[in-house]
Structure 1
Amino acid sequence: MKSPRTARRRTPRVELYERIVAAIHDGTFPPGSDLPSEPALAARMGVSRPALREVLILLQEDGVITRKHGVGSRVNQHLPPRGLERLLPVEALLDEGNITCRRLAAEHDEATDFSGHHLRLSSMSRTWFWETLIEVDGVPACFAHEWAAEDSALTALDPACAEAIAHQAAADPSTGEPVVTMLAALLAAAGDHTLTGKSTLGATILGRERGKAMNRPPETPAILITQVVSAESRPVLAAKYLLPAGAPFLRIVQRR
């Protein structure tokens, strides 16, 4: 399996998405302005109209533009905040150092309230849940709780995605196979499929069990990142990432 730092491949769609967003942020297409017509914009970007149309749909889903049939596309006045919308595994966002992942749990079980809500699962659905402890230079830095969509949904996206999740769930570092987060495994397997993520940040405390695993007091303050990853509006992964006070900084990668 590829290293999580190189797992994400920049596909032509991702590059086109980022080129258009960069043009919005540098004032070429300022907020509130109309984008050129599809034929004109496709020619300007040097891409086909079908490829452009697919990226415009993603931009609309992310709240960057508004499209109206027969009218065209307009850049929204209030753009989504910069930051975690560039989808990367949390281990790739942690500050530089020797980063390792240790799997604490990997279960294929019934959906929880959290995973059922965010992944649109029924109460009888079964899905993969992973608990992973991420360490930087041997020091616990982040808890990752991740849930995958049902196997049928992952297979519909790409059979390699379902296979990668099942395979990585049983990764054995003693054999030389690296342990990675579920998001890293999914991004490595997704290939040309464009995945998008939406994140929220909150505050909490570690609690007794997580504090014990991190050798920290239960009342240690922590940042909680909740993230939902989707493929064409279909959620395929939901996660909670918990970073205690004093953990290495996250390297927030902005749109460009």
Structure 2
Amino acid sequence: MAADGQRGQQRRPVVALYERIADAIHDGTYPPGSTLPSEPKLAGELGVSRPALREALLLLQEDGLLSVRRGVGRTVNAHPPRRGFEQVRPLEELLGTDAPLRVRALLRSVEEPTDFTTQHLLAPAGAELRFWESVLVGAAGAVVLSHEWAAPEEVLGRVHPAFAEALRTAAGGPAGPAPALSTPSPAPAPAPASVSMLAVLAGASRGLSLAAHSAVTATLLGRRRGEQLGRSAETPAVLVTQVVRVADTPVLAAKHMLPTGAPALPVLQSN
């Protein structure tokens, strides 16, 4: 995933506010059912500007921690979800409960490990990883930008060969090894490419136990992602990072960007 030149500076205030308020909710400073102080008072207590606070509060609402009640203000939900979602279900299913979402493929390629995939997929230097970039599209347009990586072919061949074969089929290629990095990837055909990598994994894992761990943070879209989603670079967004494992081996890692106005993300609390 290409880095945005100004993203680190842009996202820091909103992320810090989101995390501070979320931590206060989870540690009981703002208990379930309680009403947050007014915006001016809360901004003063936190030492931040009201516009920055408003963005963070909006993201907390979209993440299910806060609700707005007319005449009352912002209240903490009775059962605020933990950060992250643990359902091994494709986002297009989780988010498409009211209206179906379709997956539009932007890129299907093979790439070398990045810092993200080295950390989450334990990919060694020189490994070749399948990378899929997709946009989830609803009736009102693009709502989610997804970046998904699969573990190296040799790892999948050992722990989940059915997933490796399903990936090759879904990408429109022959049932053989992933194309070499030096080989240009052909443009994906719309039909076989209109599926997410997580959907491929779920479909190939019948009877196999998968474990997922996800984290949710607040950010801004940035220029490139804003262009891909048809939004302003300054649009607040929720960034979901997900890793799926077979036993103790990670087989898929993903980043999902949900801008303000995207369908609410259902959260399954872990035990």
Asked if TM exceeds 0.5, the reply is: yes
What's the TM-score once normalised by structure 1's chain length?
Answer: 0.64
Give SS of 2:204's match: helix
Aligned partner letter, 2:245: S
Residue 172 of structure 1 deviates from its aligned partner by 2.5
Counterpart CA distance in 2 for 1:233 and 1:197 is: 11
Q: What residue is the counterpart of 1:34 in the other structure?
A: none
Q: What residue is the counterpart of 2:189 in the other structure?
A: 172
* Pairs aligned (count): 175
Residue 82 of structure 1 deviates from its aligned partner by 8.5
Q: 1:138 to 1:101 in 2, by over 3 A?
A: farther
Contact map agreement 1:93 1:252 (CA 8 A) in 2: no
Counterpart CA distance in 1 for 2:142 and 2:242 is: 20
Q: What residue is the counterpart of 1:88 in the other structure?
A: 89
Residue 140 of structure 1 deviates from its aligned partner by 0.6
Residue 169 of structure 1 deviates from its aligned partner by 2.3
What runs of 5+ residues in structure 1 fail to find an aligned partner? Answer: 1-79
Q: Alignment identity in percent?
A: 40
Counterpart CA distance in 2 for 1:83 and 1:114 is: 17
Q: Which of residues 220, 237, 244 is equivalent to 2:259?
A: 244
Residue 132 of structure 1 deviates from its aligned partner by 0.6
Point out 4+ residue stretches in structure 1 off by more than 2 angstroms: 80-83, 169-173, 251-256
Q: What residue is the counterpart of 1:201 in the other structure?
A: 216
Contact map agreement 2:86 2:267 (CA 8 A) in 1: no
Q: What residue is the counterpart of 2:110 in the other structure?
A: 108
Q: What residue is the counterpart of 1:99 in the other structure?
A: 101
Counterpart CA distance in 2 for 1:149 and 1:163 is: 13
Contact map agreement 2:134 2:147 (CA 8 A) in 1: yes
Provide Cα deviations, 1:145-203, integer angstroms capped at 9, x if missing partner: 11100111112123221011122223623xx4461111110110122211110011001
Q: 1:121 to 1:183 in 2, by over 3 A?
A: same
Give SS of 2:169's match: helix
Contact map agreement 2:159 2:246 (CA 8 A) in 1: yes
Aligned partner letter, 1:248: P
Q: What is the RMSD computed on CA atoms of the aligned residues? A: 2.1
Q: What residue is the counterpart of 2:10 in the other structure?
A: none
Contact map agreement 2:238 2:258 (CA 8 A) in 1: yes
What's the TM-score once normalised by structure 2's chain length?
Answer: 0.60
Contact map agreement 1:86 1:255 (CA 8 A) in 2: no
Residue 86 of structure 1 deviates from its aligned partner by 2.3
Q: 1:81 to 1:213 in 2, by over 3 A?
A: closer
